[in-house]
Structure 1
Amino acid sequence: MPVLFTPPAPVSLPIQGSSQRFPVHRVYCIGRNYGDHVREMGGDAQRSRPVFFMKPADALWLDDAVPYPGATSDLHHEVEMVVALRHGGHEIAVADALACVYGYGVGLDLTRRDLQNLAKADGAPWDSAKGFDASAPISALTPASVCGHPQHATLALQVNGATRQQADIAQMIWALPEIIHELSKLWTLQPGDVIFTGTPAGVGPLLRGDRFHAALGDIATLEGHLV
């Protein structure tokens, strides 16, 4: 079937130790998944219904030069464990969820905090605060066949050499199998789906010229700078 114009190239992620790439379908995110972060944002850290939102697949950013977005004067970093799915399904059981995982990485959920606060005050969606261009810098993926399925790993972010965020992924309110289970009740998950699993306390501003280093234990690292 002829098309009106050449479509954009599919989004894909590099894989550690492989010449193959991971083709991306959708990018899901969970909010309010570390109690200390919920509290620092003024919320109630009691476990309740999970909060999900999405970013466009082409918001994933692989260049170490990350563009500072327009329409904000308060860009915040949120470091997160990232999970890539090789299998999907609908209403996936918690016990079956980890079998869907291809691999792990680390990423930043960049947030226009000023726009998010305005949206919250108006009861409006967060799309412009979360889903903008280059809003999801991400590392290469490490296959689960190499690193296993980590139950404990230090998730950390340094900005200009100073630690801003650090926590163990075991502190997540919703563990990864539960996240996959809950997501699959709302959407039929597909191979190629990517999940940002929430951020710990310490979120704060990034400025042009800032350099960052994110790590998920010895599984994945991400380095870059704002331009």
Structure 2
Amino acid sequence: MVRLPLRDGFYELRPSKIIALAKNYAEHAREMESDVPERPVFFLKPPSALIGPGDPIILPRMSKRIDHEVELAVIIGTRAKRVPAEKAMDYVLGYTILLDITARDLQAEARERGLPWSLSKGFDTFAPVGPRIADRRELNIADLEIGLKVNGQPRQLGRTSEMIFKVPELIEYVSSIMTLEPSDIIATGTPAGVGPLRHGDKVEAWIEGIGKVEFEVLAEGSILC
């Protein structure tokens, strides 16, 4: 559970699942040497991966290459099952920033062997969120700047208008497969520029209209952990 500011109070973010879109920005699909999908491609991250501002991202010993991916996250406010796109936004509580932290070497190994990606995406601390939840009524997400820096150096920069599948389409598609519960998260994909994280890095991510969130990166077993 993570508590994030929402309007004049706080919201306890307790998702039953985190649905993350793969290859929803064309340039990212190309940098991963993948085709642009004809329909949404998604995977699940466990709720146990969720952390909030002030918590560190922990690099597990099992992986030698951990990457950052900044994403616009949609927070579901009302139970949604088979929702048509034209009504999808009625089921949204708001938006926040999510980092889809990925053990890239483990993902590459799984892809090569035709295995699921769960291991590479599911470590504890692999879903940092923050700094707040922006109410859907106060933010038009059609064309917002989204970006990420590591140690002050720009890594990712894009706009939400570059998403291949827009939020209403994603809610329609996902809710036709699985029921979305209040507090569930849909991470809408990442722009190009993903790259590695190392012990001691300072990560700064932002989305226009939501704000900026920062995380420290620590190696598993380090003294500071």
Q: Give TM-score scaled by structure 2 length.
A: 0.91
Q: Which residue of the other structure, out of 176, 198, 201, is the alignment partner of 1:210?
A: 201
Quote the residue 1:93 is aligned against. Answer: 84
Question: What secondary structure is seen at the aligned counterpart in 1 of 2:9?
Answer: coil
Number of residue pairs matched by the alignment: 215
Measured in 2, the distance between the counterparts of 1:197 and 1:51 equals 10
Question: What secondary structure is seen at the aligned counterpart in 1 of 2:108?
Answer: helix
Quote the residue 2:114 is aligned against. Answer: 123
Quote the residue 1:28 is aligned against. Answer: 19
Q: Shift in Å at residue 17 of structure 1?
A: 4.2
Q: Shift in Å at residue 65 of structure 1?
A: 2.2
The gaps in structure 1 that reach 5 residues or longer are 1-10
CA gap of 1:183–1:213, structure 2 versus 1, over 3 A, is same
**Does the Cα contact within 8 Å between 2:20 and 2:42 map onto a contact in 1?**
yes
Q: Which residue of the other structure, out of 123, 146, 153, is the alignment partner of 1:162?
A: 153
Q: Which residue of the other structure, out of 181, 187, 209, is the alignment partner of 2:178?
A: 187
Quote the residue 1:5 is aligned against. Answer: none
**Does the Cα contact within 8 Å between 1:94 and 1:178 map onto a contact in 2?**
yes
Measured in 1, the distance between the counterparts of 2:3 and 2:43 equals 21
Q: Residue deviations 1:113-149, cap 9 Å, x none? A: 000000000100001100111101110212223x333
Deviates more, 1:66-75 or 1:197-206: 66-75
**Does the Cα contact within 8 Å between 1:13 and 1:141 map onto a contact in 2?**
no
Deviates more, 1:11-20 or 1:198-207: 11-20
Once the two structures are aligned, what percentage of the paired residues are identical?
Answer: 35
Q: Which residue of the other structure, out of 30, 41, 46, is the alignment partner of 1:56?
A: 46
CA gap of 1:187–1:163, structure 2 versus 1, over 3 A, is same
Measured in 1, the distance between the counterparts of 2:58 and 2:67 equals 13
Q: Shift in Å at residue 53 of structure 1?
A: 0.8
**Does the Cα contact within 8 Å between 1:64 and 1:223 map onto a contact in 2?**
no
Q: Residue deviations 1:160-207, cap 9 Å, x none? A: 111100101000011011111110111011111111110010001000
Q: Which runs of 4+ in 1 moved over 6 A?
A: none
**Does the Cα contact within 8 Å between 1:141 and 1:220 map onto a contact in 2?**
no
Q: Shift in Å at residue 74 of structure 1?
A: 0.2
Instruction: State the AA in 1 paired with 2:11.
Output: R
Quote the residue 1:196 is aligned against. Answer: 187
Matched, 1:172 2:182: no
Quote the residue 2:134 is aligned against. Answer: 142
Instruction: State the AA in 1 paired with 2:13.
Output: P
Measured in 1, the distance between the counterparts of 2:119 and 2:205 equals 24
Measured in 2, the distance between the counterparts of 1:107 and 1:152 equals 17
Measured in 1, the distance between the counterparts of 2:2 and 2:57 equals 18
Report the aligned-residue RMSD.
Answer: 1.3
Question: What secondary structure is seen at the aligned counterpart in 2 of 1:186?
Answer: coil
Quote the residue 1:6 is aligned against. Answer: none
Measured in 2, the distance between the counterparts of 1:199 and 1:160 equals 19
Measured in 2, the distance between the counterparts of 1:143 and 1:80 equals 17
